[in-house]
Chains A and B, each alone.
Chain A
């Protein structure tokens, strides 16, 4: 159980405070309700590039990192499809430093040309390091593009191609900031060795006078149900073949999201999961196999991936996965197995509550999705799930016409092209 107090400032900014006296630290997490799904298709990767620019200094704090480090703290940020989050973990007595810095960049970000020039290069190198130069690093480019036709999840957060990032102009930066980085589009969560009233007073002091903005209404096209199976063969600089099956699955705040989460656990979580035990260990069809869900706010993907063992074709490996799926569609999961995955889900929840930063990020995400107290509902939802629920969702979701199938193969000759650009041309 995570108790918290919620305050709303006059400008519409929400503040959630959770007290945890088992730590000398405090976690401060400011989450903006903007992610790569809010980008236009010709300027992808922008939300993430912008996250880098937020560290370029503000009027009263020309260097963002120095004061945090002086206060004995650490800070970082992440961007995903749905949100952009800035967090700092610091000794609880120095919490106010985070308020000062974070409010100053919301109010007075410097729009420095040099920062933009350098961070464009940094992000292009990040693109290379994580996607283009990493074996299988562009898989999400392929899967997103195959599974989504209209919804902006069709490009990954890093961007469709490096060229979009290289093209970003200062005018784009200013307009993005003005539209999305407003107090009424943000949720602040503070967790740690703190007093809620003191934290509220700090929030009023530092954020209270920042004017609210007019936040554009998010009107994203819903992805229509997939009608036909999609298949693609990708090639890259990899030594081993790999296969990926991606199925559309429910949105984060639906009860069925938790049903498919447990389905993914049955298939892929832990050394006794079905894919690992039966296909990797017993039948020796794979050298690695996994199953997971993307967990996005709008309907996401349920992904099965694996690398076939020596001498096993991708086709044979895939057939074995479909046999396991057929069993889930037909037969009820036995009681002990259901209890097992619920026990695992419970342990995962409890262990995730041991870190103040984890709690702060999760609370902020649920508050953005509608209600922070959802965090305390999860255990009950997992417990209510039955074997019939699992079979029903397997039956409706794990079907070929809801699936994007990707085969990844080594390049026939060693020849390098930017792979994302290649996928664009198709």
Chain B
């Protein structure tokens, strides 16, 4: 008879294998980081330019320039470009990054001979048609108005603006007026200055054989712009924490954000903070989730997370709750933060967090696309190649006392900003 009270043995995960990427240089000097693992004939190509918000001379120039790259070149109209991408079953997206502008192309390998010349054209000779810009602005203004009816969107905008300031590259928020002020010249300036071979890195992963690399050189290796975009190091965040209340009429839930500005991932406290944040609100077993959702039932979801940029970062707790639970939820949030500052974490809980996080690290090296994203982060943020293993070492060995010290440093109530968005004051 099977003894179900006996759980199967859990095997510790000894090693996180991050295969080192091969690095090749194209003729114009662009470094290419290759993660070659044959599974399907699928390829992910990510290009990173130092063309983010920190390189902007006008707000929203980075995002808008990236979005309009595929809306017309001297050779191809927007419609032709869209048709070519679709015809070869590809997808091209521009995920938002505060410090860079990235292009991500997913494609079957066998279509690359058609798609890479198109990419070269988009990045060598875009025309940024006035008409496309006008339409882009109109659509985005309208979508923005919709976003502003959502309490969670408003809360995120306000807390990040509060941390960094309303004209800071990491903190400013788009507005209808800001879109209205964008001109074609702003995009041309941003493009000519920032989309240079000197500011570019390429991360390619999937089944990438030598033939494709040769093709890369004959296309993206010919991109001709040179120079340094002149990105600035943004000023430090605001120093004094504040509390804010906002009203979005007619909503059924209150959005709550509590948090504070933080460091980048090169900071010595980063790995330890990562463990601390996990305990507080970084996984389903976290204290916030267990207390506020699983015990009290105030919310469907509550979490804490951190965001890290090249020159700083931030941490915040986020949740949406029924209006009647808002005050009680805030009380419990501060209670959980205080507990971490006052009481050492029990070894049982810490063991679970250690194992959970090692498993999470393992999923980041699951398959070539994930690995390539990890590599991109390490290169972009200037982190050492063995960063994952250094993280693993801290996760395995951090002590309860060290966690308490980090909590006292970063989670003290008097250091927290607070944003509450509700239907009334």
Contacts and interface: CB of A to CB of B under 8 A. Distances in A.
A379 interface: no
A95 B345 CA distance: 28
Contacts of B239: none
Interface string B96-116: 000000000011100100000
Contacts of A24: 17, 362, 365-366
Contacts of B108: 346-347, 350
Contacts of A3: none
A411 B295 CA distance: 36
B397 interface: no
B138 to A, nearest CB: 7
Given A69-B283, A336-B87, A287 B142 contact: yes
A289 to B, nearest CB: 11
B86 A353 contact: no
A58 B283 CA distance: 21
Interface in B70-111: 70, 78-79, 82-83, 85-91, 106-108, 111
Interface residues of A, number: 84
B89 A354 contact: no
B150 A90 contact: no
A22 B39 contact: yes
Nearest to B40: A350
A175 interface: no
Interface string A65-92: 1110111111000000000000001110
A134 B143 contact: no
Interface string A314-352: 000000000000000000000010011001101110110
A118 B295 contact: yes
A414 to B, nearest CB: 5
A386 interface: no
B42 interface: yes
Interface residues on chain B, size class: 35 or more
A99 to B, nearest CB: 7
A354 B83 contact: no
Interface string B287-323: 0000001111111110000000000000000001110
A70 B351 contact: yes
A355 B285 CA distance: 25
Contacts of A69: 283-285, 352-353, 355-356, 359
Interface in A114-131: 117-126, 128-130
B139 A71 contact: no
Given A22-B39, A71-B359, A135-B149, A129 B301 contact: yes
B37 interface: yes
Contact of B362 (A22, A25, A240): A25
A297 B72 CA distance: 42
B87 to A, nearest CB: 4
B355 A340 contact: no
A237 interface: yes
Given A24-B366, A25-B366, A351-B106, A133 B294 contact: no
Interface string B1-30: 010110110110100010000000000000
Contacts of A238: 146, 149
B349 to A, nearest CB: 9
A354 B79 contact: no
A239 B149 contact: yes
Interface of B: 2, 4-5, 7-8, 10-11, 13, 17, 37, 39-42, 70, 78-79, 82-83, 85-91, 106-108, 111, 135, 138-139, 142-143, 145-146, 148-151, 249-253, 283-285, 293-301, 320-322, 351-353, 355-356, 358-360, 362-363, 365-367, 369, 423
Contact of B363 (A89, A104, A350, A414): A89
A132 interface: yes
B251 A125 contact: no
Contact of A126 (B7, B70, B296, B300): B300
Contacts of A91: 11, 13, 359, 362
Nearest to A348: B89
A135 B150 contact: yes
A93 B11 contact: yes
A271 B85 contact: yes
Nearest to A131: B252
Q: Which 3 A-B pairs have the closest CB atoms?
A: A72-B359, A121-B297, A347-B89
A239 B298 CA distance: 28
A275 to B, nearest CB: 13
A67 B356 CA distance: 10
Contacts of B82: 270-272, 277
A59 B7 CA distance: 12
Contact of A22 (B7, B37, B90, B139): B37
B297 A118 contact: yes
B106 to A, nearest CB: 7
A415 interface: yes
